[in-house]
Amino acid sequence: MSTETVAAKKSEALFSKRRKAIVTDPLDDDNPVTVQVLGICSALAVTSKLEPTLVMSIAVTFVVIFSNLIVSLLRNAIPQRIRIIVQLGIVASLVIIVDQVLKAYLYDVSKVVGVYVGLIITNCIVMGRLEAFAMANKPYDSILDGLGSSFGYAWVILIVAFFRELLGSGTLFDIRVLPEAYVNNGLMTSPVGAFIIIGLIIWVQRWRNGYVEEA
Amino acid sequence: MQQSNGYVIGFAVAMTIILGGVLSFTAVSLNEKQKEEIALDTKKQIMLSVLPEMSESPKSEIAQVYDNRIQVVGINGKAIDAAVLQKLDISKEWKKLKKGQDAILPIYKFMSKDGKSVDSYILPMYGYGLWNDIWGYFALNSDLQTVRGVVFSHKGETPGLGARIGDKEVQDRYIGKKIFNGGKLTPIFMVKGEGHADLPNYEVDGLSGATLTANGLNEMVDRYLKEYKPFLEKGASAVSMAQ
């Protein structure tokens, strides 16, 4: 976990090794879903079709990046005693803005994901990044951290959605890809299917990386 | 300095004002567009009860068909004033109905292509599901007896269980059912449990695991068909006399 403040040199390159690591770590070795096991609820709930999952990924990316940026900018001004409620206030406001924009411009999608967009407030990835990173790091680094974490979340749920929609409904983005003769797998349309696929992703990833849970 | 009570309170107040301001600005600036989307969506739901094949068409196309072929009348058969119609909100009228007050009960007449005869009548409905409001559009053939199609929607029923009232597969079970049984108005009821075969004309197969949502749906259909009874009976006898 990149929780410690790394004293950055004044003339650090825009894409230095350290900064690249901030973005790439959460994609694989430090993935919020598969390694830190955060944000699982929404990964189970919104992944039955690709379209709402994509919208959810974009919404989470927006919220994580901007809340990271805002909290990082204010990190020296936020009083320690009320920092959690300040973070929550910022996250909640961003979530409401996303929800309102979806209602205005993507009404059909918002009918499907509306409930879950509201629940981004309780997504541990968002609060986790604010507490662990943005409160102690500079704005640019915080943006990179938000980018890494949200993409780490996004690729996992997009893969889950890909298999759930393909096997559960025989479609991708609501376009029929499997032959009509294919019998839809009801297990995949229910949240149980998401559990199985996330489990498989975690298995493959840990086998590949040789990750071992600390005792 | 950061730890003083004055600073903490000041920070909290400033944050509340700024966030409140940003949120109000967003809500106000997007309000018009949201209303437009909701109006378009309502038109789509109404049209899908009679033209399910349009479910993939763009909303603007559906709205065009709506504007060309739908006429709205009150329960007395007379057209509703445009200004009233503009503000009409079925959920508000439903609250009046529950209190026993006079409510406006609009009937959407779906006209044939030449605009001379009525193809079907669409009755809007509103009620409670298990968790939140549900609503629907109940389309009857021009004989005012046979169900042509229904569209149900909901605010917060459980996905996979009660939310299935929004599925086409469930809604299609209503098609072809009759609301009159031996000359008597018999509301169509969703039975408990799923997988029934050979149900009579006034019953449809139920939703396994969503009995309370089905109960809410039944209550809604029952309440509204009874409210529309004067129109339905008058219309039904007029139709049969004409034949």
Task: Judge whether B8 is closer than 8 Å to chain A, CB to CB.
Answer: yes
Domain that holds residue A113: 21-159
pLDDT per residue over B189-234, tens digit each? 898 888 888 888 888 998 888 889 999 999 999 999 988 888 888 7
Does residue A73 fall inside a structural domain? Answer: yes
Res A115 pLDDT > 50: yes
Query: Mean per-residue pLDDT for A127-143?
Result: 90
Q: Let me know if A124 is exposed, middle or buried by CB neighbors in 10 A (0-12, 13-18, 19+).
A: middle
Q: Which helix (H) or strand (E) holds B45?
A: helix B5-48
| B163 → chain A, closest CA residue | A112
CB contact under 8 A, A97 and B38: no
pLDDT per residue over A24-68, tens digit each? 888 888 888 888 888 888 888 888 888 888 998 999 999 999 999
- Count up the domains in chain A and report the number: 1
CB contact under 8 A, B3 and A81: yes
End-to-end C-alpha distance for chain A, whole angstroms: 17
Does residue A166 fall inside a structural domain? Answer: no
User: Which DSSP letter does residue B147 get?
Assistant: E
Task: Judge whether B9 is closer than 8 Å to chain A, CB to CB.
Answer: no
CB contact under 8 A, B19 and A82: no
pLDDT per residue over B147-184, tens digit each? 999 999 988 887 778 888 988 888 999 998 888 888 88
Which of B42, B18, B173 has the alpha carbon at shortest distance from B106?
Answer: B42
Does residue B58 fall inside a structural domain? Answer: no
Q: Which of A174-183, B123-132, B154-163 has maximum average pLDDT? A: B123-132
CA distance B67 to A102: 26
Does residue A90 fall inside a structural domain? Answer: yes
Q: Give me the pLDDT at residue B235, please.
A: 63
What pTM value is reported for the model? 0.78
CA distance B163 to A92: 27
Does residue B3 fall inside a structural domain? Answer: no
* Set of chain B residues whose Cβ sits within 8 Å of the Cβ of A81: 3, 8
Does residue A150 fall inside a structural domain? Answer: yes
Which of A4, A38, A14, A7 has the alpha carbon at shortest distance from A153?
Answer: A38
CA A93 to chain B, closest CA, distance in angstroms equals 7
Percent residues over pLDDT 90 in chain A:
40
CB contact under 8 A, B34 and A97: no
Does residue B197 fall inside a structural domain? Answer: yes
Q: With bands split at pLDDT 50, 70 and 90, how would you rate the model's confidence at B241?
A: very low
Does residue A168 fall inside a structural domain? Answer: no
Domain that holds residue B194: 70-241
CA A24 to chain B, closest CA, distance in angstroms equals 32
CB contact under 8 A, B30 and A100: yes
Percent residues over pLDDT 70 in chain B:
95
Which of B159, B163, B161, B91 has the alpha carbon at shortest distance from B127?
Answer: B91
Three-class HEC string of chain A: CCCCCCCCCCCCCCCCHHHHHHHHHHHCCCCCCCCCCCCHHHHHHCCCCHHHHHHHHHHHHHHHHHHHHHHHHCCCCCCHHHHHHHHHHHHHHHHHHHHHHHHHHCHHHHHHHHHHHHHHHHCHHHHHHHHHHHCCCCHHHHHHHHHHHHHHHHHHHHHHHHHHHHHHHCEECCEECCCCCCCCCHHHHCHHHHHHHHHHHHHHHHHHHCCCCCC
CB contact under 8 A, A104 and B38: no
Percent residues over pLDDT 70 in chain A:
94
Compute φ and ψ for B161, nearest 5 degrees. -115, -95
Which of A4, A1, A76, A48 has the alpha carbon at shortest distance from A158?
Answer: A48
Task: Judge whether B84 is closer than 8 Å to chain A, CB to CB.
Answer: no
Q: With bands split at pLDDT 50, 70 and 90, how would you rate the model's confidence at A10?
A: low
Does residue A182 fall inside a structural domain? Answer: no
* Set of chain A residues whose Cβ sits within 8 Å of the Cβ of B133: none
CB B111 within 8 A of CB B142: no
| A107 → chain B, closest CA residue | B37
Tokens of A54: 């994509």
Q: Give me the pLDDT at residue B240, please.
A: 47
Task: Judge whether B30 is closer than 8 Å to chain A, CB to CB.
Answer: yes
Does residue B15 fall inside a structural domain? Answer: no
- Count up the domains in chain B and report the number: 1
Q: Give me the pLDDT at residue B237, please.
A: 56
